[in-house]
Amino acid sequence: MNFDKELDAKGLNCPLPILRCKKSLADMTTGQVLKIVATDPGAIKDFEAFAKQTGNELLSSAQAGAEFTFFMKKK
């Protein structure tokens, strides 16, 4: 998937991946896509909830071993 910016949130635990995501999205324009890589097992539920609360679109989430990859489109 194409993306405009990447956020490395590996090794960070809740709520830091969400806070860093929020900060990164603030610097982006509408329609741009942020790729987030995290290792926190709670990140899946956290990013789903974050998308619902903020209106940003969670395009996809995937797990490869202990890493989770998310693509979020800025509203």
Give the pLDDT confidence score for residue 17 in this predicted structure: 98
CATH number of the domain that residue 23 is part of: 3.30.110.40
Catalytic-role residue among 5, 10, 14, 44: 14
Enumerate residues 6+ apart whose C-beta is below 8 A from 75. Answer: 30, 54, 55, 56, 57
Neighbours of 29 (CB within 10 A): 8
What domain range includes position 16? 5-73
Domain count, the chain: 1
Tens digit of each residue's pLDDT (9 = 90 or more) over 15-58? 999 999 999 999 999 999 999 999 999 999 999 999 999 999 99
Q: Is 21 a catalytic residue?
A: no
